[in-house]
Structure 1
Amino acid sequence: MDMPQTPSPAAVRVAALYCFTRFDDFAALRAPLEAICREHAIRGTLLLAHEGINGTIAGSEQGIAEVLTHIRTLPGCADLDVKLSTATTMPFHRMKVRLKREIVTMGEPDIDPLASVGTYVEPQDWNALISDPDTIVIDTRNDYEVAVGTFEGAVDPRTRTFRDFPEWFRAERTRLLGEGKPPKVAMFCTGGIRCEKSTAFLKQEGVDEVYHLKGGILRYLEEVPETESLWRGECFVFDQRVTIGHGLVEGTHALCHACRRPVGPEEQTSPLFEVGVSCPACHSERTDEQRASYRERQRQEEIAAARGRAHVGAVRESKDGQGGPS
């Protein structure tokens, strides 16, 4: 039996996708979805839960199209939200379809984005909204993502995971919104999925005028010209590209495989940065013994790469354990 071929680097298409819907038996969807992904040599991670599907996958243009066609046949997924981009090399090591409690983990069981979410704002209208002095702009992503880039004037919650967002907002609500009529609140994230939950959460907390960027930062960087952009820096993505910029071109950051933080060009020149072993942010957090272990893992990965295959140690999770735009 002939095995499907991995697409050439120039042909790698990346699809970041999600859909909130209700799957009565989401476990039954796993095997057929995994089979069609493997049939077309697709790699990446897809998460399935009662509340829907989320993930990022990569492969040939035809293979991605086939998988998206299959996903759109699933209950409630006809209008699947997809952001397409390209990569110069395959950004994933293997294909995983996982069953989860949530497709993006907030830890608030009563939040239902199908019942109530904020008002969607098209990328072309986003600048006007966040430039309004009566608008509070909140970046719903995690600290390591915000450090790479964000919108001008946005509030950074400094959260380590999305689970921390509700507690942060409840603690900071009065400082942010004041005691009188609340200002408009505009929120954004990488691909839109975290904002589905964060805007639903704020509405449940009694905030009426809540808005979020439709399609997230990815669609903004794709559709808004750099000359008109209010985005500053690059956007962290949950794959081996690490970051992307305007036009969804690959960015300049590397990934520290010891701590999963993005490492900028200047940090990459630091003596504390060693590929696969440490970066300036985590060097003091690890022992010599740990770094020796990472160094051996990196050596094994380089040997495996030279032989044209991925070493098992190369397969690592994002810091949130998410599979897609979050």
Structure 2
Amino acid sequence: MDRVLNVSAYLFVPLDDRETLRPLLRERANDLGLKGTILLAEEGINLFLAGDAASVRSFLAELRTDERFASLTTKESWSTDQPFQRMLVKLKHEIIRMDHPTIRPAASRAPAVDAPTLRRWLDQGHDDAGRPVVMLDTRNAFEVEYGTFANAIDWGITKFSQFPDAATEHAAQLEGKTVVSFCTGGIRCEKAAIYLQEAGHPNVMQLDGGILTYFEEVGDAHFEGDCFVFDEREALTPELVAR
């Protein structure tokens, strides 16, 4: 029986006290017996935690008492074993490295499409304005090999910092279409969508909550394979369980 609650979450919010937050979050997570990784950057927080359900939810509830994290939403899944070896809290320049400092999701998000709407668009072959929809996978090539949306565009990048150059090289693929960028949990596709908008693509959206939220809300419709995750489970099926 699954007994370990796994959560992932991110939030773009300015953090000017990362050095102070780091030991506080690490101590509280350790006190609750949690394992995983928390990344803190000036642009926000990104976390992956696993442990007893009550302990995980207690940690998140306390975190949300800080008004900066009040809107933090999580994606949940369950496992029989603890998928992390230790508890790490790291300071980073970016919570997901793009090397493009003008991209500031905390200041202005790109439009998002929810999972049920996206499924409807893919079912009918176009968005509500009649434009063809293309799915753009913003993950690294090895992640895509585990599974992706049918007919998704994959530029074969090996790290996210390569995305801007790839977008310039392949710009013609996106012209005249509604582009839906997607990734595991939402963080990369959010930055990618903003970049594409700034690059002059007028109809770009991000898949709200990424693949994991899509699995949770609509299952495997139009998705082929599993979703790679960065822990010892390796990949999750559309039922959000390890293969």
TM-score normalized with structure 2 length: 0.93
Q: Equivalent residue for 1:150?
A: 148
Measure, in 2, the Cα distance between the counterparts of 1:146 and 1:168: 16
Distance 2:174 2:190 in 1: 20
Three-state SS of the structure 2 residue aligned to 1:104 is: coil
Q: CA deviation at 1:17?
A: 0.8
Q: Which residue identity does 2:80 align to in structure 1?
A: T
Q: Secondary structure at the match of 2:98?
A: coil
Matched, 1:26 2:21: no
Deviations, residues 20-62 of structure 1 (Å, cap 9, x unaligned): 0011222111111001100011000000011110021100001
Q: Is structure 2 residue 179 aligned with structure 1 residue 185? A: yes
Q: Tell me the SS of whatever aligns to 2:83.
A: coil
Could you tell me which runs of 5 or more consecutive residues in structure 1 were left unpaired when the two chains were aligned: 1-8, 252-326
Which amino acid letter does the alignment assign opposite residue 161 of structure 1? K
User: Secondary structure at the residue paired with 1:86?
Assistant: strand
1:247 aligned counterpart, secondary structure: coil
Distance 1:163 1:138 in 2: 16
1:242 is aligned to: 234
User: Once the two structures are superposed, what CA deviation does each residue of 1:209-232 show, in whole Å capped at 9, x if it has no partner?
Assistant: 111111110011112144xx1110
Aligned to 1:165: 163
Deviation at 1:137, TM superposition (A): 1.5
Alignment of 1:1-326 (within 5 A): 10-130=2-122, 131-132=125-126, 134-174=132-172, 176-178=173-175, 182-226=176-220, 229-251=221-243
Cα distance, 1:71 vs structure 2: 2.0
Q: Is the 8 A contact 2:119 2:218 kept in 1?
A: no
Question: The residue matched to 2:68 in structure 1 has which SS?
Answer: coil
Equivalents in 2 of 1:103, 1:246: separation in Å? 26
State the Cα distance separating 1:233 from its structure 2 match: 0.3
- Give the paired residue count: 237
Q: Supply the distance in 2 between the matched residues of 1:230 and 1:246 (Cα, whole angstroms).
A: 11
CA distance in 2 between counterparts of 1:51 and 1:73 reads 19
Cα offset, 1:234, TM superposition: 0.5
Unpaired segments ≥5 residues, structure 2: none
Q: CA deviation at 1:73?
A: 2.5
What is the rounded CA distance, in whole Å, between the counterparts of 2:219 and 2:140 in structure 1? Answer: 26
Query: Rg larger in 1 or in 2?
Result: 1
Whether the 8 Å CA contact 1:23–1:49 is kept in 2: the answer is: yes
- Alpha-carbon separation, structure 2, partners of 1:150 and 1:13: 25
User: What are the Cα deviations for residues 240-270 of structure 1, in whole angstroms up to 9, with x where unaligned?
Assistant: 000001220112xxxxxxxxxxxxxxxxxxx
Report if aligned partners of 1:116, 1:203 keep a CA contact under 8 Å in 2. no
Cα shift at 1:75: 4.3
1:22–1:75: 8 Å Cα contact kept in structure 2?
A: no
Q: Once the two structures are superposed, what CA deviation does each residue of 1:39-97 show, in whole Å capped at 9, x if it has no partner?
A: 01100000001111002110000110111112212342111021011111100000000
Higher relative contact order (CA 8 A, sep 6+): 2
Amino acid at match of 1:191: G
| One-letter amino acid matched to 1:93 | Q
Name whichever structure is richer in strand by fraction: 2
Runs of 4+ in 1 over 6 A off after TM superposition: none
CA RMSD, 1 decimal: 1.4
